């Protein structure tokens, strides 16, 4: 098995690392402190081709693969997890489903500007009473005699919602059919009747704007339908499979930030006459962090590789997301312990990593849901 990235993949990683170090990292603390959407960094990611990395150039993307995407996501999230998730949503949850399920006309109208960064997207599946249980959708879509659709409902915790131009939206058009009654649409956010709530006040990833989306008598044309009527659940689940690769890479970036910041601090901070990195209690923490991060990275790149080669990857993506998010939280917790009292104050970055890490165990499928997904594949012999 060859673990060496291609020259193309290394070039993407190098570009992402330089951008992250030179432009993102210097602003990360301020973005978090001010709860500010980093519009200037999103614009730069568009210029660098990071908002549609795995989308063909024909549709405005960069034409790279999902391994390149995972490598770039890790680098940018290492600098700022908020900036990383903005990138992840646009790539994984918006561009990818439109590319795979959209019509040619939809790809030209929506995918091209989304992948090139002229527009920014969001993904609206969760609701106040429908998080892990996607089939509990209460947002409705009713087809009218003229072929248009009327939408009503509320969506919750929609990342990029307040700043998005386009939404991949999921509705219930036939409640009696359960998950087979879910239908997806491409929703322009300026459509009459669409309104975003107040941005969520969050524990972490504070520069990533999220909110409720309210749909009041929203009328969409027939060509806004994404995929087939009743095919929304399949679109949502397959999209989340790919999205988990992006969140695993985000978790990797957060974990790496915790390790690198801890190592640098441990080499400078002295107790009992020597740098604390020379104390076994600290050295062992760093060794465990490094080992677990490498293991999580291999799981993540395996899932990306499988997707690139059109092989089943649902179980592997769930494993990567489950493990990487666990590693991120453990690394961030240990980082605070290594920093001691300094880890608990905002002057140092590890408290931000600690707050940012938690969400990776929740969105795009909680850790409990990942275990269900993995167990389901095992039960089927996969």
The per-residue pLDDT for 343 is 98
The per-residue pLDDT for 298 is 98
Beta bridge pairs of residue 270: 275
Residue 88 to residue 139: CA distance in whole angstroms = 25
364 is catalytic: yes
In 3D, which of 18, 29, 132 has the Cα closest to residue 356?
29
Tell me if the domain spanning 7-115 has CATH number 1.10.540.10: yes
CB burial of residue 70 (10 Å; 0-12, 13-18, 19+): buried
- Report mean pLDDT in 10-residue bins for the chain, 382 residues: 91 98 98 98 98 98 98 98 98 98 98 98 95 88 97 98 98 91 97 98 98 98 97 97 98 98 98 97 98 98 97 98 98 98 97 98 97 97 80
Please give the model's pTM, rounded to 2 decimal places.
Answer: 0.97
292 token code pair: 């677990």
Instruction: Out of 3.90.1150.170, 3.30.2350.10, 2.40.40.20, 2.40.110.10, select the CATH number for domain 121-230.
Output: 2.40.110.10
Q: Which of 74, 127, 316, 364 is catalytic?
A: 364
State phi, psi for 217 to the nearest 5 degrees.
Answer: 50, 50
Question: What is the fold of 234-379?
Answer: Butyryl-CoA Dehydrogenase, subunit A; domain 3 (1.20.140)
The per-residue pLDDT for 48 is 98
Domains of the chain, residue spans:
7-115, 121-230, 234-379
Residue with tokens 């081709």: 49
């Amino acid at each position: 098995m060859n673990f060496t990235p291609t020259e193309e993949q290394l070039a993407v990683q190098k570009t992402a690392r330089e951008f992250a170090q030179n432009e993102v990292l210097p602003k990360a603390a301020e973005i978090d402190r001010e709860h500010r959407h980093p519009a200037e960094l999103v614009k730069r990611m568009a210029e660098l081709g990071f908002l549609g990395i795995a989308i063909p150039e024909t549709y405005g993307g960069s034409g790279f693969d999902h391994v390149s995407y995972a490598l770039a996501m890790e680098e940018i999230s290492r600098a700022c997890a908020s900036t990383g998730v903005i990138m992840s949503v646009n790539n994984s949850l918006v561009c990818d489903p439109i590319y795979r399920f959209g019509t040619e006309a939809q790809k030209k109208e929506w995918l091209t500007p989304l992948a090139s960064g002229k527009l920014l997207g969001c993904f609206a599946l969760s609701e106040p009473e429908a998080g892990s249980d996607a089939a509990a959708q209460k947002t409705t879509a009713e087809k009218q005699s003229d072929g248009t659709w009327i939408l009503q409902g509320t969506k919750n915790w929609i990342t990029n919602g307040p700043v998005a131009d386009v939404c991949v939206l999921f509705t219930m058009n036939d409640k009696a059919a359960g998950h087979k009654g879910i239908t997806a649409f491409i929703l322009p956010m300026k459509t009459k009747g669409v309104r975003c709530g107040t941005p969520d006040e969050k524990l972490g990833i504070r520069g990533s704007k999220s909110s409720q989306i309210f749909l009041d008598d929203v009328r969409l044309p027939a060509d806004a339908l994404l995929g087939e009527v009743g095919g929304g659940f399949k679109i949502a689940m397959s999209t989340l499979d790919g999205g988990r690769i992006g969140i695993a890479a985000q978790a990797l970036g957060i974990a790496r930030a915790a390790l690198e910041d801890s190592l640098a601090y441990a080499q400078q901070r002295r107790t009992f006459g020597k740098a604390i990195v020379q104390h076994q209690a600290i050295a062992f923490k760093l060794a465990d962090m490094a080992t677990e991060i490498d293991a999580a990275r291999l799981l993540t790149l395996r899932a990306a590789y499988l997707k690139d080669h059109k092989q089943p990857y649902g179980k592997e993506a769930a494993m990567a997301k489950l493990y990487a998010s666990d590693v991120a939280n453990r690394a961030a917790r240990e980082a605070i312990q290594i920093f001691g009292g300094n880890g608990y104050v905002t002057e140092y970055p590890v408290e931000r990593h600690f707050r940012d890490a938690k969400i990776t165990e929740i969105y795009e499928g909680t850790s409990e849901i990942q275990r269900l997904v993995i167990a389901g594949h095992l039960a089927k012999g996969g």
